Amino acid sequence: MTIVASPTPPTALIDRLVGIVGPAHCLFREGELFAYECDGLTLAPRTPLAVVLPATTEEVARIVRACRDFDRSFVPRGAGTGLSGGAHATEDSVLIECSRMNRVLEIDPGNRLAVVQPGVVNAELSQAVAHLGLFYAPDPSSQQACTIGGNIAENSGGPHTLKYGTTTNHILALEMVLPDGRIERFGNRVGEGPGFDWVGAIVGSEGTLGIVTEACVRLTPIPEGVETLLAIFDDVVAACRAVGRVIRSGVVPAAMEIVDRRTIEAVEASVYAAGLPKSAGAVLIVELDGNPVCLDGEIRLIHEACRREGCQAIERARNDEERTRFWRARKGAFGAMGRLAPDLYVHDAVVPRVHLPAILEKICEICDRYRLKLANVFHAGDGNLHPNICFDKRDPDELERVMKAGAEILEACVAVGGVISGEHGIGVEKRDYMHLVFDDSDLECMTRLRQTFNPDAACNPGKMIPTPRFCVEANPRARGYDAVPIG
Amino acid sequence: MASDAGGIPEREGVGSGLREGLRAAIYSKTLDCVHCGLCLQSCPTYRVTGRETASPRGRIYLMRGFAEGRLQDPELLVEEAFACLGCRACETACPSGVRYGEMLERTRAVVRSEEKDASLSTKIERFALREIVPRPRRLGILVGLLRWVQALRLDRLSTLLPRGLRDRVALAPRVPPRRERRRMPLLTPAEGVRRGRVALFEGCVMPELFGRVNDAARLVLSRAGYEVIVPRNQGCCGALHAHSGEIGFARELALRNVRAFTGELGQLDAIIVTSAGCSASMREAESWIGESGGVLADGVRDVLDFLDDARPGLPLRPIPKRVCYDDACHLVHAQGVAAGPRRLLQAIPELVLVSHRNPEACCGAAGIYNLTRPEMSRAVLQPKIDALIEAGPDLVATANPGCAMQLSAGLAARHSEIGVVHPIELLEEATRPVTA
Amino acid sequence: MTESPASTGLHPDPVEIPGAVVERIFEPTRPEEVGRIVREAANKGDGLLVFGGRTRLHQANPAREIRFGLCLRGLSGIDEFEPEEGVLHVAAGTRIREVREAVHAEGWALPLDPPGPSSTVGGTIASAAVGPRAQSFGRVADAILGLDLVGGDGVASRCGGRVVKNVTGYDLAKLYCGSFGTLGIVTGAWLRLHPKSAVRRVFVTQPGPGLVEFDRHRRWAGLASVSALVWREDPEAGSRQVTIELAGSEEGVRHDHAWLSDRAELVEVEPDEMDRIRDERAAKGPGPLALRVRVLGTECGAMVQRLLDSGLAVSVDPGPGTIHARGRLAHPEALLAIRESARESGGLAVFERLPDTWRRELDVFGLESGHAALHASLKARFDPGGILNPGRFEAGGDRDGV
């Protein structure tokens, strides 16, 4: 890819932005923009025109109006941990970074809710309410860094969504700056506003309907009892079958995660070694929580399910240290894989759970065929796969193989009734694969929703809905993202 | 390895020397970062500014981008390399084990070596680091001077100084009386059953300002059954210099210590260090002085880590105080020592270990960062002071002299009564023989 | 063209809704027919009243220019059911009761619990109707994995999917759910099931009067195995009763039962008692008024007291903070005052039954005027001809659209 020269920075716009947020919070030097050229997805980087860091809703609205006056698009960004490029800018858009809007505005323990600014960090919200016996349930793997605003944009999930649901189940009301600069409130504190469920539509809209500037979120009581089990299987197929049996047994674990042989090997060779036996072909981690009197019975059912699928051994964590050790096999995977090559492509797709064993074989076959280093860790209880592919994007041939394998994986998942994203979102990464799942009329309905809020696609252009649809809008501002540029 | 920069297209222009230097020094290491961003919230400067460029991920991206020639202007990279506190909390947060601290030090070293006209502040910093800190006599004179200023209450005149200077003066610790600054005995015999023999590392600032801490360590070790020697020809560890990019000078200092501790090392169980910044740096000596650093890398133990392992089982006298343990970055992040010091304190009867928010977050001292960048340092310090005041202990215990000074100044500025001690001082008090 | 609207004869069972009587009714049996009928109607600009089990036809604003009825009862049946997976695909006209029984037989529970024995899947989705078990089942939208639709232009589309976790594109199902069929006609749905409880027991108890007592029961509603707790009180009859349904594992139910028994006198009743209470809410009377008020949990007791003081009978789900009130009030202003108070308490009030004479003055939903432009814009894009349930889910000019 050739480096496209940025259009000359419009000094008048910069001056106006500086006037809104102050010089310390408006960035436009080369290095500053360079660091903002991508989020957690390092493919397809694009340098923004400027980066502004507002502190209030009013500032966000004024920034949006300034961008409109200068006919520039704008892109909201949280911590930039997203993996689908949802916070990638274009060369003529202003990046609105919400990291400074990080205050918890109100905590209402009686009604189990909190009002927060979008830049509040997921894990820190849970910490802030822990003394009240409450927590914020959605727990994406990046929870120590990602923000509630970003979670709302992506409808983030996590290991424990099996029982607690994703972000959409925990957002009651929102304040949003619309793409025309108006400030609107949606929903209410009981989570049921009169009229359309705007909140439900905004959550997961990847920042294409406006910029969320405040959220009222549901808090959940910390469960009284927690039990973590680790079951070791000969192979991943048996582990998947055990998951099926657990689901059939009527137990709803808080989390059910599988780590495959390739991941176990990588983890055990790294500093995250969890002490798993060499014979382990797959590991299933099951976490149960709730009323302690019920947990013993549930553990018996899990044991039964695993034994019937011939598990080698099953361990029960006796304390928090052991629980941490069990989870290390899961949580260390990302890091252990990351060390194997300069780049790591964390895929995300969902299949009906009964198809897990077959699809895993298929994914391994695809990656072997493209000579790629692959490992699987996944939210088995949800059927949410995360094939991790290690590569070096400086090697154009390898990069091409990664992209081809990725496309085949998505096609295989869709073929069995799955979808192309369970929690990372579409962004720029998968925009051109939307046709695998949806036909033109389905996408047309999505376009209608976007046009209602964002008629000229000035807010976060080029995301989620594929290009042909985009051109239909005949919007000169929407240039960029013709195809995902590589490299 | 001749160069780390496999496969980067050549590009000439601004800062090409710097680019070459970075390619050779750190490029391959920058590739370990997968850009996941899990480090962001652990970074004190990111938390203050909210800027990607002031985060570990952003800084690594700048290093990588500049080395690759995709980023043309090195200005921001240089700025950010020195705006970092070097607390290395990001290393604890990183799932991929990226060695950020090492990259940072190397980047600073390359920048310093490429620098043509150093700014005045850099020159002053360099002078202080080269000509005062590692030279006990000059440092002693300076500290003596400070003692007089404080004795005559001349420090109150600092209100006449401009804000920036005044804040720096406020950071100066109370200079202890001369008797606390006297040198320790060469050899202190073990009390009771002899369990081994250790050498005590004194450091540069420690004997002048925190002599009582070194002495406490010596006494506790001796009571725990260790014979303690204090080699005479030791000196500053060089950590501050390495952190500032003065890598050549840091190497000289480190090599001096290698010589000082080599003779006796054969019979030593450990080289005990009471300052977390020094112990961290010495344990990583191999990365900057090569194999000969192994002597330090293998021998050095932070006093708290050592005692936690040794479990001497001494009788402990009660200390009825509420204490917050605040992790020194270079103990928790650089050495992974967090539980041990808490265990030691918790063992003291009647001592209540009080928890406070984010004990592992940097206090903003960061070597001499609080002198070179007082504004950022203060911004980083504030949440720490808030957390401590909220927890309301009698004492806060921290295992690094720089942190102790910073916390004292921060608490004093808020008129707080909370005292600051090194954990080893509490252990010394608890293990003091009843007759004493 | 075999089925032009004009060719339809009078239906033997005409539909009466506020503002209209619809006598010409289509009853398609395949989704493609729905598309054809809607396209035809769109071409001519004929308004369509879309309905299923007719349970909640009174729960919307008066219709405007409705020419034909479109009954979806003909789209019926479970097309796919995967007991291994706990998901199923069902046609919109299928009765909830039918689905519930089918999944029970395989050890699953359908987490849809709308009042009214003839409720259909489509109608439940369109009205987002929940019952007393909302606290354990969640909202209707939570049960929806994907929808099949026909838009106002007669074009069929899909949203969501069949998997239990999905962020592929906008979550349009949320918009369709509870929009009273004004954005599109739901013809089928993928639903996610809950595990069926091993044990279900229902108890009644006689609470004392007052806010303190009410709050005590509100907290009980939070016990792990309480699947529903309903507080019913009728000031005219002077009756007050709490019904508690416990569902879950044997240990869990036993534990909570023991805990409750220590604090209240429990009398066990038939296990389907909660269904009876639920369906009672869909029945007519007593009195011409029925309203549903939702407020924050901590405000629920005060709101209940206020409604009782107005002489209304209440059936309350203290867990989610939902109050069903019935009876009569002297003036429409009294209703508006209740709505205002509900808003101040973080919630809303929906007037589910109104005397016909009040309909002109009141908006059933209390739609927010601030969103009127967005609402109209969205509606115009999804139903450009304005033929899907015209008037039913919009605030008229003469109503309180504040």
- Give the gap in angstroms from C-alpha A427 to the nearest C-alpha of chain C: 9
What is the Cα–Cα distance from C112 to C115, expressed in whole angstroms?
A: 10
Question: Which of residues 37 through 76 in chain B touch A, CB cutoff 8 A?
Answer: 37-42, 46, 49-53, 58, 61-62, 65, 70-76
- The answer, for C370 touching chain A at a CB cutoff of 8 Å, is yes
* Burial (0-12, 13-18, 19+ Cβ within 10 Å), B394: middle
CB contact under 8 Å between C161 and A200, yes or no, is no
Helix locations, B152-246, DSSP H: 163-171, 205-209, 211-223, 239-243
Helix locations, C45-165, DSSP H: 96-104, 121-127, 134-137, 140-143
Helix locations, A88-222, DSSP H: 122-129, 148-154, 161-164, 198-202
What is the Cα–Cα distance from C299 to A405, expressed in whole angstroms?
A: 55
What is the rounded average pLDDT for all residues in chain A?
A: 91
B404-413: burial string, b at 16+ Cβ within 10 Å, e else: bbbbbbbbee
Alpha-carbon distances of A364 from A268, A342, A385, A408, rounded to whole Å: 20, 21, 12, 11
In three-state form (DSSP H/G/I as H, E/B as E, the rest C), the secondary structure along A207-257 is CCCCEEEEEEEECEECCCEEEEEEEEECCHHHHHHHHHHHHHHCCCCCEEE
Same fold, B16-114 and B322-431: no
Asked if B touches C (at least 3 Cβ pairs < 8 angstroms), the answer reads no
Structure tokens at A308: 């019937």
With contacts defined as CB-CB under 8 Å, which chain B residues touch A344?
34
For β-strands C313-317 and B226-229, DSSP reports them as unpaired
What is the model's pLDDT at position A185?
A: 97
What is the model's pLDDT at position A481?
A: 38
**Within this chain, do residues A245 and A262 fall inside the same structural domain, yes or no?**
yes
For the B322-431 domain, the top CATH level (class) is alpha beta
Residue A125 lies in a domain: yes
Interface residue of C32, C130, C163 to substitute, partner A, most A CBs within 10 Å: C163
- The residue in chain C having the minimum alpha-carbon distance to the alpha carbon of residue A158 is C165
**Within this chain, do residues A308 and A394 fall inside the same structural domain, yes or no?**
yes
Residue A142 lies in a domain: yes
- Write down the residue that tokens 């450009």 correspond to: C384
With contacts defined as CB-CB under 8 Å, which chain A residues touch B26?
none
Residue A423 lies in a domain: no
How many CB atoms are located within 10 Å of the residue C288 CB?
A: 16
- C337-360 pLDDT, tens digit per residue, is 999 999 999 999 999 999 988 988
Helix (H, G, I), strand (E, B), or coil: what is residue C245? strand
What is the model's pLDDT at position B8?
A: 52
**Within this chain, do residues A394 and A292 fall inside the same structural domain, yes or no?**
yes
Residue A459 sits in which domain range?
A: 1-100+440-446+455-487
- The residue in chain A having the minimum alpha-carbon distance to the alpha carbon of residue C108 is A250
Task: Give me the sheet containing A211-218, strands edge to edge.
Answer: A104-108, A113-116, A211-218, A171-177, A183-187
Residue A420 lies in a domain: no
Residue A132 backbone phi and psi in degrees, to 5:
-95, 5
- The answer, for A451 touching chain C at a CB cutoff of 8 Å, is yes
CB contact under 8 Å between A247 and C162, yes or no, is no
What is the Cα–Cα distance from B349 to B352, expressed in whole angstroms?
A: 8
What is the model's pLDDT at position B115?
A: 79
Task: Work out the average pLDDT over A185-212.
Answer: 97
What is the model's pLDDT at position A407?
A: 96
Q: How confident is the model at residue C401 (pLDDT cuts 50, 70, 90)?
A: very low
Task: Work out the average pLDDT over C308-319.
Answer: 96
**Within this chain, do residues A72 and A114 fall inside the same structural domain, yes or no?**
no
What is the model's pLDDT at position B288?
A: 80
**Within this chain, do residues A11 and A39 fall inside the same structural domain, yes or no?**
yes
Q: Residue B436 above 60 pLDDT?
A: no
Listed residue (A451, A465, A459) closest to A477, CA to CA: A459
What is the Cα–Cα distance from A297 to A303, expressed in whole angstroms?
A: 10
What is the Cα–Cα distance from C124 to C143, expressed in whole angstroms?
A: 11
C111-124: burial string, b at 16+ Cβ within 10 Å, e else: bbbbbbeebbbbbb
CATH number at residue A383: 3.40.462.10
Final residue in a domain of this structure, among A221, A241, A262: A221
Domains in chain A, number: 3
Alpha-carbon distances of C113 from B220, B256, C125, rounded to whole Å: 70, 79, 11
CB contact under 8 Å between A79 and B40, yes or no, is yes
Q: Residue A6 above 50 pLDDT?
A: no
Q: Residue C2 above 70 pLDDT?
A: no
- The residue in chain A having the minimum alpha-carbon distance to the alpha carbon of residue C394 is A195
What is the Cα–Cα distance from A387 to A363, expressed in whole angstroms?
A: 8
Residue A342 backbone phi and psi in degrees, to 5:
-65, -35
Task: Work out the average pLDDT over A245-258.
Answer: 94
Residue A432 lies in a domain: no
DSSP state of C8: -
* Burial (0-12, 13-18, 19+ Cβ within 10 Å), A474: exposed
Q: C78-195: what fold?
A: 3.30.465
- The residue in chain A having the minimum alpha-carbon distance to the alpha carbon of residue C82 is A354
Query: Is domain B16-114 classified as CATH 1.10.8.50?
Result: no
Residue in A145, A343, A394 closest to B40 by CB: A145
Q: Cα angle vertex B334, ends B332, B336, to 5°?
A: 45
Most trustworthy range by pLDDT among A300-314, B140-154, C385-399: A300-314
Q: How confident is the model at residue C8 (pLDDT cuts 50, 70, 90)?
A: low
Picking from A127-141, A149-163, C14-28, which range would have the lowest pLDDT averaged per residue? C14-28
Tell me the DSSP string of C211-224.
HHHHHHHHHHTTST
Structure tokens at A246: 């657990």
Strand ranges, E, within B256-414: 270-273, 300-302, 322-325, 352-354, 395-397
Helix locations, B32-132, DSSP H: 44-49, 56-68, 75-83, 89-93, 100-114, 120-127
CB contact under 8 Å between B38 and A145, yes or no, is yes
Residue A92 lies in a domain: yes
With contacts defined as CB-CB under 8 Å, which chain A residues touch B37?
39-40, 79-81, 142, 145-146
Higher pLDDT, A277 or A116: A116
- The answer, for A355 touching chain C at a CB cutoff of 8 Å, is no
ipTM for the whole predicted complex goes beyond 0.85: yes
Q: Is the dihedral of CA B387, B389, B392, B396 positive or negative?
A: positive
Q: What is the CATH number assigned to the segment(s) C199-359?
A: 3.40.462
Q: How confident is the model at residue B161 (pLDDT cuts 50, 70, 90)?
A: confident
What is the Cα–Cα distance from A94 to A74, expressed in whole angstroms?
A: 5
- A356-372 pLDDT, tens digit per residue, is 999 999 999 999 999 99
- CATH 3.30.465.10 domain extents, chain C: 78-195
Task: Work out the average pLDDT over C362-366.
Answer: 94
- The residue in chain A having the minimum alpha-carbon distance to the alpha carbon of residue B97 is A335
Evaluate whether A141 touches A334 at the Cβ level (below 8 Å): yes
- C157-208 pLDDT, tens digit per residue, is 999 999 999 999 999 999 999 999 999 999 999 999 999 999 999 999 999 9
CB contact under 8 Å between B36 and A29, yes or no, is no
What is the Cα–Cα distance from B135 to B152, expressed in whole angstroms?
A: 26
Q: How confident is the model at residue B1 (pLDDT cuts 50, 70, 90)?
A: very low
Evaluate whether C15 touches C51 at the Cβ level (below 8 Å): yes
Q: Residue C74 above 90 pLDDT?
A: yes
CATH number at residue A198: 3.30.465.10
Final residue in a domain of this structure, among A205, A221, A237: A221
Alpha carbons within 13 A on the beta-carbon side of C70: 37
Q: Residue A482 above 60 pLDDT?
A: no
Q: How many CB pairs under 8 A join A and B?
A: 111
**Within this chain, do residues A94 and A164 fall inside the same structural domain, yes or no?**
no
What is the Cα–Cα distance from C353 to C285, expressed in whole angstroms?
A: 9
Q: What is the pTM of this model?
A: 0.93
Q: Residue A386 above 90 pLDDT?
A: yes
Domain ranges of chain B: 16-114, 322-431
What is the model's pLDDT at position B154?
A: 72
- The answer, for A256 touching chain C at a CB cutoff of 8 Å, is no
